[in-house]
Amino acid sequence: MAKKKATQKKVEEPVVEIEETVEESVSKNYVIVEGQKSGQVAVRLLNPDFENCVFQFGKIGITEEDGRAILAFDYDLVSGETPTDAHMIEVLENELGDVVVDLLENHFDEGEVVGGND
């Protein structure tokens, strides 16, 4: 399994307004949502520890360190509050990493997940 590194960028104001769920994921730990006005895609976690947390992903990359694959990604908090406890931040970032992997494996080829500008 790949090790994960995450970087959070705080968003001063929400970048999208969230509407109803667009699609439930295969893994059932998140749903893909879309902004009502902007149409931008975001992810709402279903884990009760992160209830009402909606995130957008920025840059996603895979590097190699000591022969191991490293998944690195940036994310923006659109709504909700992220934990301040170091352990819960790690749990959150691992869950977000799992979401990135699921999106890449199950949605990218289908052309379902779009957005961003490089």
Contact predicate 8/77, CB 8 Å: yes
Digitized pLDDT (tens) for each residue of the chain, 118 residues in all: 455 566 665 554 444 444 444 455 445 788 888 877 777 888 889 889 998 899 999 999 988 889 998 889 999 998 888 889 999 999 999 999 999 988 888 766 655 544 544 3
| Amino acid of residue 78 | V
Q: Which pLDDT does position 110 carry in this prediction?
A: 55
Closest CA to 73 of 89, 88, 57: 57
Ranges of each domain in the chain: 3-106
Helix (H) and strand (E) counts for the chain? 1, 6
